[in-house]
């Protein structure tokens, strides 16, 4: 079993999400789209006008962040880590996680919240990864996460408050972020992140100092993995402003402010943070801010995705894409 949330202590897109429509749950049987007034001064471009690019031969290493690669190798080099993880995670734990999630959520399908179903299906097609099950769960905390249970189909859970907060394009970017964890086989390490750092203190033969060292290494890997999955979000959105808007909304947005948020101002804020953190004292404070976080700071994630969107590696990937009809225009 692996927990892959997008921004809390579990691994999720949320720690980090504007266009003219916002998902809202109406009083009827399905989703309804509520149009909000667009910010006339800072209106965002419409994403993927009618078509999208799918990547038929996409490999995880085509977009994996260098820090993800580096920290994954470091984790694999830790003696006995696999054995410890198996000790901490058994069948009962897996079943508790599975039943707790599917017993309190609504399963999305062609006949249930079909708009969300189409968004997930298209994102999976673009990334060339099998689509997991998708559940919607009632929660006031905006979040999304992925669970991969041994021998069972993985599934993604999104919270209703996240659906309320994001546009269609942004919500699909979050789903793509979660798919990125599956595409990159992050599940096993996410399991360790969620359980090992708690259980290592009680496993015979593993002391607190070792557990803390493991926790630091795993959290460092988690932050790097998030940067990889932000890239997966961009590969599906194919517009960096959509991904940056997600991060901005999750840093300080709400439905009533959505039409006033400005991506350009948030990117300028990110540049200001990097400038302030470039001094010796700033560098120390930045490390202190992030060392115990499972996700990089939203402004840092925004800078990373903005920079990658301008890279030759990203442009080369786009050239490999095959046009498909976008589901975003059908919803």
Whether pLDDT at 246 is above 80: yes
Nearest to 256 by CA among 90, 78, 36: 36
**Distance (Å, rounded) from C-alpha 19 to C-alpha 42?**
10
Contact 136, 63 (CB under 8 A): no
Mean pLDDT of 147-157: 82
Contact 113, 43 (CB under 8 A): no
Mean pLDDT of 94-105: 82
Contact 239, 45 (CB under 8 A): yes
Contact 226, 243 (CB under 8 A): no
Q: Read out DSSP for 68-109?
A: HHHHHHHHHTSTTHHHHHHHH--HHHHHHHHHHHHTSEEE-B
Strand ranges for the chain from DSSP E: 2-5, 21-25, 31-35, 51-54, 105-107, 133-137, 144-148, 155-159, 322-325
Contact 317, 267 (CB under 8 A): no
Active site residues: 178
pTM over 0.75: yes
19-33, 147-161, 211-225, 251-265: least confidently modelled range: 19-33
55-69, 153-167, 226-240, 277-291: least confidently modelled range: 277-291
Contact 171, 162 (CB under 8 A): yes
Q: What is the CA radius of gyration of the chain?
A: 19
pLDDT computed for residue 54 by the predictor: 97
Rounded to the nearest 10°, the torsion over CA 144, 48, 183, 97 is 20
Whether pLDDT at 242 is above 70: yes
Q: How confident is the model at residue 212 (pLDDT cuts 50, 70, 90)?
A: low
pLDDT computed for residue 51 by the predictor: 82
**Which residue has better confidence, 296 or 95?**
296
**Distance (Å, rounded) from C-alpha 8 to C-alpha 16?**
10
How crowded is residue 114: how many other Cβ atoms within 10 Å of its Cβ? 14
| pLDDT tens figures, 31-89 | 333 333 333 333 333 345 568 999 999 999 999 999 999 998 888 887 766 666 666 55
Domain boundaries, the chain: 2-329
The CA–CA distances, whole Å, from 244 to 16, 64, 264 equal 9, 18, 9
For 137, phi and psi rounded to 5 degrees? Answer: -125, 135
pLDDT computed for residue 327 by the predictor: 64
Kindly report the average pLDDT of the chain as a whole number: 79
């Amino acid at each position: 079993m692996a927990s892959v949330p997008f921004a809390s202590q579990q691994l999720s897109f949320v720690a980090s999400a504007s266009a003219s429509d916002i998902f809202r749950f109406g009083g009827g049987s399905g989703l309804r789209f509520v149009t909000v007034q667009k910010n006339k001064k800072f209106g965002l471009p419409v994403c993927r006008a009618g078509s999208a690019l799918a990547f038929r031969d996409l490999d995880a290493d085509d977009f994996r962040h260098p820090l993800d690669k580096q920290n994954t190798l470091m984790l694999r080099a830790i003696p006995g880590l696999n054995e410890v993880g198996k000790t901490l995670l058994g069948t009962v734990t897996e079943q508790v996680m599975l039943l707790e999630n599917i017993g309190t959520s609504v399963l999305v399908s062609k006949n249930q919240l079909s708009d969300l179903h189409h968004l997930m299906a298209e994102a999976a097609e673009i990334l060339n990864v099998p689509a997991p099950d998708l559940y919607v769960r009632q929660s006031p905390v905006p979040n999304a996460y992925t669970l991969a249970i041994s021998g069972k189909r993985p599934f993604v859970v999104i919270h209703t408050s996240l659906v309320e907060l994001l546009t269609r394009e942004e919500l699909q970017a979050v789903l793509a972020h979660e798919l990125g964890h599956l595409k990159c086989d992050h599940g096993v390490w996410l399991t360790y992140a969620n359980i090992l750092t708690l259980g290592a203190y009680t496993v015979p033969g593993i002391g607190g100092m070792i557990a803390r060292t493991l926790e630091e290494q795993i959290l460092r890997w988690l932050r790097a993995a998030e940067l990889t999955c932000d890239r997966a979000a961009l590969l599906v959105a194919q517009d960096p402003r959509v991904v940056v808007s997600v991060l901005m909304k999750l840093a300080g947005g709400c439905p009533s402010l959505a039409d006033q948020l400005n991506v350009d101002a948030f990117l300028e804020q990110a540049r200001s943070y990097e400038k302030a953190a470039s001094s010796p004292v700033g560098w120390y404070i930045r490390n202190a801010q992030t060392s115990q976080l499972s996700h990089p700071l939203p402004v840092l994630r925004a800078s990373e995705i903005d920079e990658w969107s301008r890279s030759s590696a990203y442009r080369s990937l786009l050239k490999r894409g095959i046009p498909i009809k976008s589901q975003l225009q059908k919803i």
